[in-house]
């Protein structure tokens, strides 16, 4: 069935099925799959004529899901529920105009959770018809086993200074690709030249698992500062001599976005209730995502500019940001560490 999904979308899925696409960040893929598959199995056993269909990320990769969604021309080619931590589909100019702005896909925010979200952030979600289930962020983890560092940074602006040259490793799942959300946050909080200054201080880009393995070890490649999403930093063992720093400028807010077909809201209710239930909440919490009621909003979380995404398209903005980042990375120095 997953092969047919790649080539024909939901054409071969039973019309009565509740169709779900969920694209999880790397650390969440396995726990999400195990928990949701158990729910689906139980639900489908008790509802054989109205089953849930959710293709596995191991069978359909994120790029394949993206291709499927971007090629959708009609409502019946969309999932009934779309859960993602990425902006690239929802803020694709064509997709946004066709399915999000028109309300065919509706941003879902549980009514009982809305009171916990600061009004400016909640308004941004409402104005652009984007839903959210939970939130994560990016931060800096300082490895105190590295003695070369002269001082502890007190702000995002400080880690852009020459004092931290060669002291920064950044999480990256795809080679040297940057995180648009993080880079936009730095630009917004620290000025137009922030991305270039940050890139020049970066000496390594690695998957979070290797970064954590290096922390508080004898590995010569470890660095004092490690810039990681919370979903990755949540896996740092407590016994390691590492501190997760928080800065006054705040930190980028990464929502787990939840979209539902407007005309399928009642049909999808059992899944939405499951996503907001205690077992799903615990799974998210253990992997760096918090529900609105659990988030410490005093940390000054900064949401990206949705209006800019909607007006220009996320792909264009991401491409422009990435171009600045790549042109300022010291590729020769970084490549030496990859050998």
Four-point Cα dihedral 68, 59, 15, 102, nearest 10: -30
What pLDDT score does 177 carry? 53
Name the nearest CA neighbour of 288 among 245, 254, 242, 257.
254
Phi, psi at 266, each rounded to 5°: -65, -40
Q: 52-53 and 18-23 as β-strands: parallel, antiparallel, unpaired? A: parallel
- Residue 14's pLDDT band (boundaries 50, 70, 90)? low
Distances (CA, A) of 124 to 108, 117, 187: 13, 11, 20
Q: What is the set of domains in the chain, with CATH numbers?
A: 2-135+254-303 (3.40.190.10), 137-251+320-338 (3.40.190.10)
- Residue 12's pLDDT band (boundaries 50, 70, 90)? very low
In tens, the pLDDT along 62-107 reads 677 888 899 999 998 999 999 999 999 999 999 999 999 999 999 9
In tens, the pLDDT along 160-184 reads 999 999 999 999 755 545 588 899 9
Phi, psi at 145, each rounded to 5°: -80, -10
- Residue 57's pLDDT band (boundaries 50, 70, 90)? low
**Residue 41, pLDDT above cutoff 50:** yes
Can you tell me the distance from the alpha carbon of 339 to that of 337, in angstroms, rounded to the nearest whole number? 6
**Residue 185, pLDDT above cutoff 90:** yes
Mean pLDDT of the chain: 89
pTM of the model: 0.91
Whether the Cβ atoms of residue 83 and residue 39 lie closer than 8 Å to each other: no
**Residue 309 burial class via C-beta count within 10 angstroms: exposed 0-12, middle 13-18, buried 19 and up:** buried
Name the nearest CA neighbour of 105 among 84, 135, 122, 136.
84
Can you tell me the distance from the alpha carbon of 92 to that of 70, in angstroms, rounded to the nearest whole number? 8
**Residue 153, pLDDT above cutoff 60:** yes
| Mean pLDDT on 209-237 | 93
In tens, the pLDDT along 288-321 reads 999 999 999 988 999 999 999 999 999 999 999 9
**Residue 133, pLDDT above cutoff 70:** yes
Can you tell me the distance from the alpha carbon of 311 to that of 328, in angstroms, rounded to the nearest whole number? 27
């Amino acid at each position: 069935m997953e092969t047919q999904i790649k080539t024909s979308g939901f054409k071969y899925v039973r019309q009565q099925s509740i169709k779900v696409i969920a694209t999880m960040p790397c650390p969440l893929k396995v726990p999400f799959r195990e928990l949701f598959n158990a729910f689906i199995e139980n639900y489908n056993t008790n509802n054989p004529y109205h089953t849930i269909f959710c293709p596995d990320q191991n069978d359909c990769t994120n790029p394949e899901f993206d291709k499927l969604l971007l090629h959708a021309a009609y409502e019946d080619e969309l999932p009934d529920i779309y859960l993602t931590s990425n902006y690239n589909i929802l803020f694709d100019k064509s997709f946004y105009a066709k399915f999000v702005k028109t309300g065919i896909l509706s941003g879902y925010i549980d009514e009982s959770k809305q009171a916990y979200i600061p009004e400016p952030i909640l308004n941004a979600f409402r104005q652009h018809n984007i839903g959210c289930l939970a939130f994560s962020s990016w931060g800096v983890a300082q490895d105190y086993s590295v003695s070369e560092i002269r001082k502890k940074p007190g702000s995002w602006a400080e880690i852009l200074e020459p004092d931290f040259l060669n002291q920064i490793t950044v999480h990256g799942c795809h080679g040297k690709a940057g995180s648009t959300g993080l880079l936009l946050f730095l630009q917004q909080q620290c000025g137009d030249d922030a991305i270039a200054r940050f890139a020049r201080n970066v000496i390594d880009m690695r998957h979070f698992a290797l970064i954590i393995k290096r922390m508080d070890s004898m590995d010569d490649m470890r660095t004092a500062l490690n810039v990681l999403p919370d979903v990755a930093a949540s896996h740092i063992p407590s016994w390691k001599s590492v501190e997760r720093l928080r800065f006054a400028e705040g930190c980028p807010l990464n929502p787990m976005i939840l979209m539902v077909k407007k005309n399928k809201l009642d049909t999808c209710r059992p899944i939405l209730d499951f996503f907001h239930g205690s077992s799903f909440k615990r799974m998210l919490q253990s992997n760096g995502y918090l529900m609105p009621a659990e988030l410490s909003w005093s940390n000054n979380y900064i949401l990206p500019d949705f209006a800019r995404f909607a007006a220009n398209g996320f792909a264009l903005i991401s491409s422009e940001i990435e171009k600045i980042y790549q042109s300022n990375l010291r590729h020769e120095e970084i490549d030496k560490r990859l050998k």
